[in-house]
Structure 1
Amino acid sequence: MNIIKALYNRNYRIFFVGQGLSIIGTWMQNIAVSWLIYRLTDSALMLGLVAFMGQIPNFVLAPFAGVWIDRWGKRSVLVITQLLSLIQASLLAWLTLGNRMEIEYILSLSLFLGCVNAFDVPARHSISVEMVDSQEERQNAIALNSVTYNMARMLGPLAAGILIPIIGEGYCFLLNVASYFISILSLAGLRLQVNYNDKEHNNMLQHFQEGFSYTFKQLPLRNILVLLGTISLTAMPYTVLLPVFVSQNLGASAGTVGFLMAVSGCGSLIAAFFMASRTEFQGLERLLVVAASVIGIGLICFMLPGGLWFSTVLMFILGVGFLIQVVGSNTLLQCMVDDSMRGRVMSFYTMTLMGVGPIGSLFAGFLASQIGVTYTLAIGGVCSLAGAVFFARDLSVFRVQACPIYVQSGSLSSRDECRF
């Protein structure tokens, strides 16, 4: 069982390295920006506001970004988004090193980067599976993308924590600029077949309507996104509430928050390697039910009396559950979607995964201030379990309707290969 099968593909290997270094730089910049904001304002509210400004464009722009991605081509979009991200990081470095930085500039640049990421993320998801040959490599590539992300989520903050006291935030931003140069060079080095999506019409609204209809009129695609959206809205905000839980329920400090987040990251990394080792995409729909149930039970268990080590176990379990939910959803969608619709479908996936999160975080913060953090986490857990029940109720119909979609997309050669 080869967990790095997709890396034997030249194009994916170059993309994997370039994007991996870029994501490490991005995480390093995220930590540096957070530290800079707190140093300038001494305000937790401003930290939350900047995070909101950086993520909410995914909800507004991502569904429309898919139209441009399918029309322009994935690599062209990625080169543009990486160039714009490079400019944003360069401005952060210039303003910080020149002692010109103001909180208004950070808010504006965060909003700008959020708009860029609304195009970048779905394009990155789409291109990574189109450059591999077989269905097994495609599934492996999706899981390896998650391995890259979770490795970067650990290495980037670690590098930032070491470098910020030594060289300051501005030079961390410059290092991220360098990582974007590497990413752009890796994109230029790809040998891809040019597939121009030549439509009989050029109406943007019609293209969007086609993508929306294709995505939400098919029960398998719709149910995957509904379940993922439910979890993104109600369960994923647990990371925002973690500092409050640690302070109020464990009586601990920020160091404990970092420790628990690292434990969650370890769980996600192990789950990513598990997903990379799978060679069969059929049956993942059952794993989505299990993952959503595990997330729900894990969040409800925060209501139980227990100390740091009990919370550590729960965070590890949640890391596993969230990773399987996200990667499993991504894999099933990528196996179902036609190449001509891939950008648009993955844009809805990006909106569901990243766009509704800021809304959920704001609501969770308000709810926690009214009823307490443990009850808020428990409500998120109940909603996750309800989503799992809703999804499981239609599993038999899901499999029957998914079969012709798999065949049409080329993931299966005939209906005889379907497993009902």
Structure 2
Amino acid sequence: MSTGSGAASAPAPRTRPDSPPTPGPARRSSMFSSLRIRNYRLFFLGQVVSNIGTWMQRIAQDWLVLSLTGSATAVGVTTALQFLPMLLFGLYGGVLVDRLPKRPTLLFTQAAMAVTGVVLAVLTLSGHVQVWHVYLAAFAVGLATVLDNPARQSFVSEMVGPGQLQNAVSLNSANFQSARLVGPAVAGLMITGVGTGWAFLFNGLSFVAPIAGLLLMRARELHVVERAPRGKGQLREGLHYVAGRPELIWTIVLVGFVGTFGFNFPVYLSAFADDVFHAGAGSYSLFNTLMAVGSLAGALLAARRGTAKLRVMIAAAALFGALELVAAAAPSLWLFALLMAPIGMFGMTINVNANTAIQMGTDPAMRGRVMSLYMMVFLGGSPVGAPIAGWITDAYGVRAGLAVGGAISAAAAVTVGLVLARVGGLRLAVAWDHGHPKLRFVPRERQQELARAA
């Protein structure tokens, strides 16, 4: 397979908003079919343990910063510092990932994040932790993520091959969200019972599981992908590759707006728990847990589908934004908490469909660079969005902050949907189904036929 400039100029399948990103008939597979592959099963089981620790540290980290400073802006700064390296260096990380073998790269990044968790635990348990320590730890994890995220995302295809990619990506998301059910609940118990330091320690030790899984894999069973040779212009080549494919660039644009303005939950949920409902760390964990229930449902539903559809992603983004607007006005803790489940489900639907569409629509030799751009926009938007969300929350209240995020997400979904429809030669048509109006996108020629029939 070519890894030079020809890879960037080779035509890729174009998609319409109502079409799968790759040709071929839609298929339904077993929900857990990719777990039959030994290497992926080892990877999956290791991530179960590590993801629980990651969510425990996220909850403990946000609560520790809020306890030390009393400021939602400080929580936003912590989130921003964790994702700032992705914004600054994400594209270069993708270039390196396309050159480097994925498994050794992941061994290095997982070990680096383990050390960070243990150091933060020692500082917290010894009583010497200060807010700048948390800031530094968040930034260090972000630096490791620059390589870890694109390597982990693109390594999935090497473990399972193209036939199981959709299922494996969905199960990865289900794995992460399953841990989100356990991690916040355990973190809440630890914070109230023995303190935040033990949550940091568990996270540091949890990386033993994925490291062991990577070491136990059989290299001969991996799907070989030719690595990109070292050369000039590879970053520019990756950007040109994405810019020439509307289904990639507009998916990334939508994910960028939603990730920057709609996914600032560490800021919103901690402030709702502490300032609006005055309910403490337990309610903060409850909000995260209920959101994880919805996210897990969304991931498992995606695992049942044979293909990712851009129209599903766009509809999910519009509903995600609309539900955030409703949640911003929720008068009671229990109504707000219940809304977390559908918000989580539609948020995960956006994530899985976008991730799968981009991976399946990208040449393997370019996947590291394209996935790094996707992750840079999705995660790197937090350094911009989190401080803004924190400032709006401190100045006008958390309800205003969540409402602004929801409105921007919904507007971005509508705009990108219309752009992709135009690029794909589609028009919005109204048809009547048993006396009820039904909206759908149809090709221009089909709309003309419907108009003549009417």
Q: Report the TM range for the smaller structure's normalisation.
A: 0.7 to 0.9
Is the counterpart of residue 228 in structure 1 residue 255 in structure 2?
yes
Moved more, 57-66 or 363-372: 363-372
Residue in 1 that maps onto 2:406: 381
Amino acid aligned to 1:331: T
CA distance in 1, matches of 2:130, 2:425: 56
2:170 aligns with 143
- Structure 2 CA distance, aligned partners of 1:289 and 1:170? 40
**Equivalent pair of 2:295/2:348 in contact (CA under 8 Å):** yes
Show the counterpart of 1:175: 202
For the residue of structure 2 that corresponds to 1:2, the secondary structure is coil
Q: Is the 8 A contact 1:66 1:347 kept in 2?
A: yes
Query: What is the one-letter code of the residue matched to 2:227?
Result: N
User: Who is 1:185 aligned against?
Assistant: 212
Answer with 388-397 or 42-51: which moved more.
Answer: 42-51
- Offset at residue 147 of structure 1 (A): 0.7
Which of 312, 315, 321 lines up with 1:290 in the alignment?
A: 315
Q: Secondary structure in 1 aligned to 2:90?
A: helix
Aligned to 2:349: 324
CA distance in 1: counterparts of 2:286 and 2:293, whole angstroms: 11
- Equivalent residue number for residue 268 of structure 1: 295
Q: Look up the match of 1:69.
A: 97
Report deviation, 1:153: 1.5
- Aligned partner of 1:392 in structure 2 is 417
Matched, 1:312 2:337: yes
Deviation at 1:398, TM superposition (A): 5.5
| Distance in 2 between residues matched to 1:60 and 1:398, nearest whole Å | 31
2:438: which partner in 1? none
Unpaired runs of 5+ residues, structure 1, are 402-420
Matched, 1:22 2:47: no
Distance of 1:165 and 1:243 partners within structure 2:
15
Q: TM-score, normalised by structure 1?
A: 0.85
Who is 1:104 aligned against? 132
- CA displacement at 1:221 relative to structure 2: 0.3
In 2, the alpha carbon distance for the partners of 1:173 and 1:318 equals 28
* Deviation per residue, 1:160-189 (Å, 9 max, x gap): 333456655444444333321221121122
Percentage of matched positions with identical amino acids: 33
Please, which of 51, 57, 61 is the counterpart of residue 85 of structure 2? 57
> Given the alignment of the two structures, is residue 278 of structure 1 paired with residue 308 of structure 2, yes or no?
no
Deviations 1:17-39 (A, max 9, x none): 11221121222233344455456
Tell me: CA distance 1:8–1:376, structure 2 relative to 1, closer, same or farther (3 Å): same
1:350 matched residue in structure 2: 375
- Find the partner of 1:202 among 220, 225, 231: 231
Aligned 1:62-141 pairs, distance under 5 A: 62-135=90-163, 137-141=164-168
Q: Is 1:294–1:317's contact at 8 Å kept on the other side of the alignment?
A: no
Distance 1:85 1:163, change over 3 A: same
Conserved? CA contact 1:73–1:195, under 8 Å: no
- Corresponding position: 1:212 with 2:239: yes
Secondary structure of 1:25's aligned partner: helix
1:152 pairs with 2:179 = yes
Task: Give the 3 Å change call, closer, same or farther, for CA 398–18 of structure 1 in structure 2.
Answer: farther
> Does the CA contact (< 8 Å) of 2:32 and 2:167 recur in 1?
yes
CA distance, structure 1, for counterparts of residue 65 and residue 110 of structure 2: 24
The structure-2 alpha-carbon separation of the partners of 1:43 and 1:289, relative to structure 1 and needing over 3 Å to count, comes to: closer
Unaligned 5+ segments in structure 2 are 1-28, 427-454
What whole-Å deviation, never above 9, does each CA across 1:52-75 have from its counterpart, x for those lacking one? 222221211212100010101221
CA distance in 2, matches of 1:185, 1:197: 24
Query: When you count helix as a share of all residues, which structure comes out higher?
Result: 1
Per-residue deviation, 1:400: 7.8
Is the partner of 1:394 in helix, strand or coil? helix
The residue correspondences of 1:248-263 to structure 2 (distance < 5 A) are 253-263=280-290
TM-score, length basis structure 2: 0.79
Following TM superposition, by how much is the alpha carbon of 1:343 offset from its aligned partner in structure 2, in angstroms?
0.8
Contact 1:72-1:196 at 8 Å conserved across structures: no
Aligned Cα RMSD in Å? 2.7
User: In the TM superposition, what whole-angstrom CA distance separates every residue of 1:266-306 from its partner, at most 9, and x where no partner exists?
Assistant: 1111111111111233xx11101210110121122246564
Matching residue's letter, 1:338: D
Q: Partners in 2 of 1:181 and 1:371 — Cα distance? A: 44
Paired residues of 2:85 and 2:380 also in contact (CA < 8 A): yes
Counterpart Cα distance in 1 of 2:396 and 2:64 = 32
Report if aligned partners of 2:50, 2:206 keep a CA contact under 8 Å in 1.
Answer: yes
Q: Distance in 1 between matches of 2:407 and 2:283?
A: 26
Q: CA deviation at 1:113?
A: 1.3
Q: Given that residues 73 and 196 in structure 1 are in contact (C-alpha distance below 8 angstroms), is that contact kept between their aligned partners in structure 2? A: no
Pick closer, same or farther for the CA change 1:260–1:371 going to 2, 3 Å: same
Deviations along 1:83-110, whole A, 9 cap, x unmatched? 2112222322443455544433332222
Cα distance between partner residues in 2 of 1:177 and 1:254:
22
CA contact (8 A) 2:316 2:349 kept: yes
Point out the more displaced range, 288-297 or 378-387.
Answer: 378-387
